[in-house]
Every structure is written in structure tokens, then in C-alpha cells.
């Protein structure tokens, strides 16, 4: 073997990593639904994902409750009833226990109430849970949309700036599930720095959940662009930073407010490889899986990451369009994304 060939084998050994991801689009969660009710729905998703061979399930923003920032509330006790003081809690422990039993991980969005710096703080949070039940990453939403004061002329409020603080954890990227994993939440997806900060940390998959009302009260003429803006922002982030983006909605008509569904999985090329269409639920009380097909995607060839780990991701990742193989497609009632990376 020539020296050049030996060096390549030592520094660029080819190995495969497979990750099957299920994106669990949720139907509406009404105010009357208890945590127990919601956790049972999430467990049902985990079991279906396990049946399909998923390693990881992505849930939406504020998965455990209705989207409460749509209401003006003055009673702090009422506000805090939508927050989780610990994770896992007695109410959410069954989700963690079932995930550990099934050896399947998940990301989950929720309202976090925590004691920090000698005071109570409230964040719009997402966590990443490994297959052994450990929380391996936490993200707190940075780009809070909406307003902070009561605006009674609106058909509904959007008071994230009243109920949450701006996140203080930046955009962390962690080693988990055999790759470099990052998270963001809802409105974060619309800002290029969200993806770029993670891209400079060599992120390989960005998981994000959202609750996006179709009606834009300050600019109602933009309502028709809701689907376009949703897809555009995630496609741009994926393509510009060479990363998978898993965008998952809680959609449908929740407490009288229609919200965007249209969850999707986007490849590092920017191509939407799977999506769940529609703006509401076919069955109002039911959750719908993100899509009805499983795709085997083109290979992502990682060249040089072991040689020059300080390179940005775009510098050391190259696409092999199809590796001479067409994408394979099989019909299923829940999306499984086969993420195949060679490095």
C-alpha cells in the first residue's frame, strides 16, 4: 500500500452512520386537555415510531399544553399552570420511562419554570433526550415573537414577550445519536444567524418545533404567504449550512385559532424530502404523523472532518448526488427519515 493510501485510510476511514428520525406532527391541544392526556398521545407516537424502527422522534414547540400565549392573563398562578417546574416530572415521567424501555430518543418543547440567579425564570424550552433516557441538551428560545402588552383589538394575542424571557443558552450543538445535533424553536427558524451559529459548530441535524398561527394580525395580507415563509426559512438554513432540518408543527384549529401544519424534513441540499401538507387536521381530535412515506436519501459524504476538524461544515462536507442509486420509497403512515452519513 502506498503511503498516500495509508494516510487516507488512517485519517479518512469510511464508516456509515444510520439514524432513523420520526417527526411527530401533533393535532390541537385544547385548554381542557390534561398533561396525562397529552403524555398518552406522545407515548402512542413513540410506540408507532418504535414499530417503524425510529431512533429519534421530534415533537413540536410547547407540546404539553395548548399555546397559551394567545391569551392575556394577569394571574401569575394561572400563567404558571402552563409551565413545567422539573423535567421529567411525575406527569411526564411515563414518557421518559417508555422511551427508555423502547430505546428511542426524542426532542420535546415545553414551557420551563426554573430557579436561576436567585429568582424564578420562565423560558420557551426544548430538550433532547438520548435513547437511555438522559437529557443531553437543552435550548431556550431566543427570538421571541409577538408583543408584551394586551392588545384587545387583535382576534387573539401573541404574548411570548410577556410570558417568556429571551433564551440564555445560545444555540448549543452536542454529540448525540452518533452526530452533531442542534435545536431551535419556531420563530428562530426565520433568522439566518440561528442556523449559522450552529453551522459553525458543524451541526448535522437541526430539530425545531413550531406553533404558527396562519393569521398574521399585524399584517393580514401576509396570511397567504404562511406556507411559503415556513418552507423558505428552513430550506435556506439547511442549504446554506449543509445540515438536515426537521421542522415539526402542532397544527390545526386550537381554541378557535387555525395554525399551520406543513411539517417537513429538509436535506442538506435544501431539498424537501418529506412533508405533511395541510393547515388543519382531517380529524380534529387526532394527531397526524408528519408524512406517509419513508425515503432512503442520498448519501452525505463527509470528507476531511477527521483531518481538519477546525474547518466549517461547509468546507468539509460534499454531496454525492445519489451515489448512482435512486431514492427508494415505501408507503407508511408515519414518517421515518433514514439519515445516512459516511465519514
Place of cell 408584551: 148
**Which residue numbers are catalytic?**
61, 141, 186
Q: Which residues pair with 181 in a beta bridge?
A: 174, 205
CA atoms within 13 A on the CB side of 160: 25
Cell numbers found for residue 142: 431566543
Place of cell 399584517: 219
Q: Which residues pair with 120 in a beta bridge?
A: 115
| DSSP 8-state assignment for residue 213 | B
Q: Exposed, middle or buried, 71 (CB in 10 Å: 0-12/13-18/19+)?
A: middle
| DSSP 8-state assignment for residue 63 | T
What is the Cα–Cα distance from 308 to 11, expressed in whole angstroms?
10
What is the Cα–Cα distance from 194 to 209, expressed in whole angstroms?
14
Closest CA to 250 of 21, 27, 22: 27
- In 95-193, beta strands by DSSP E: 105-116, 119-129, 135-140, 173-176, 179-185
Place of cell 409577538: 146
Buried-exposed string 262-276: b where 16+ CB fall within 10 A, e elsewhere: bbbbbbbeeeebbbb
Amino acid at each position: 500500500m502506498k503511503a498516500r493510501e495509508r494516510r487516507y485510510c488512517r485519517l479518512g476511514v469510511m464508516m456509515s452512520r444510520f439514524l432513523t428520525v420520526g417527526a411527530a406532527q401533533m393535532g390541537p391541544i385544547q385548554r381542557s386537555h390534561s398533561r396525562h392526556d397529552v403524555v398518552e398521545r406522545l407515548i402512542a407516537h413513540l410506540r408507532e415510531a418504535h414499530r417503524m424502527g425510529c431512533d429519534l422522534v421530534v415533537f413540536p414547540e410547547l407540546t404539553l399544553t395548548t399555546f397559551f400565549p394567545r391569551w392575556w392573563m394577569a394571574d401569575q398562578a394561572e400563567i404558571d399552570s402552563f409551565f413545567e417546574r422539573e423535567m421529567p416530572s411525575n406527569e411526564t415521567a411515563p414518557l421518559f420511562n417508555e422511551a427508555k424501555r423502547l430505546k428511542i430518543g426524542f426532542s420535546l418543547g415545553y414551557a420551563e419554570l426554573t430557579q436561576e440567579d436567585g429568582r424564578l425564570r420562565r423560558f420557551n424550552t426544548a430538550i433532547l433526550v438520548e435513547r437511555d433516557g438522559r437529557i443531553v441538551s437543552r435550548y431556550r428560545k431566543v427570538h421571541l415573537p409577538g408583543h408584551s402588552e394586551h392588545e384587545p383589538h387583535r382576534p387573539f394575542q401573541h404574548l411570548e414577550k410577556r410570558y417568556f424571557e429571551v433564551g440564555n443558552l445560545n444555540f448549543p450543538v452536542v454529540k448525540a445519536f452518533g452526530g452533531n445535533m442542534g435545536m431551535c424553536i419556531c420563530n428562530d427558524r426565520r433568522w439566518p444567524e440561528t442556523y449559522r451559529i450552529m453551522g459553525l459548530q458543524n451541526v448535522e441535524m437541526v430539530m425545531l418545533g413550531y406553533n404558527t398561527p396562519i393569521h398574521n394580525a399585524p399584517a393580514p395580507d401576509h396570511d397567504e404567504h404562511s406556507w411559503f415563509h415556513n418552507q423558505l426559512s428552513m430550506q435556506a438554513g439547511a442549504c446554506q449550512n449543509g445540515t438536515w432540518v426537521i421542522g415539526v408543527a402542532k397544527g390545526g384549529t386550537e381554541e378557535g385559532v387555525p395554525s399551520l401544519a406543513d411539517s417537513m424534513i429538509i436535506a442538506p441540499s435544501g431539498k424537501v424530502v418529506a412533508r405533511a401538507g395541510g393547515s388543519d387536521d382531517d380529524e380534529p381530535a387526532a394527531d397526524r404523523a408528519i408524512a406517509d412515506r419513508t425515503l432512503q436519501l442520498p448519501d452525505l459524504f463527509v470528507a476531511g472532518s477527521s483531518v481538519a476538524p477546525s474547518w466549517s461544515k461547509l468546507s468539509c462536507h460534499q454531496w454525492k448526488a445519489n451515489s448512482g442509486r435512486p431514492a427508494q420509497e415505501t408507503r407508511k403512515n408515519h414518517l421515518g427519515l433514514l439519515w445516512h452519513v459516511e465519514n
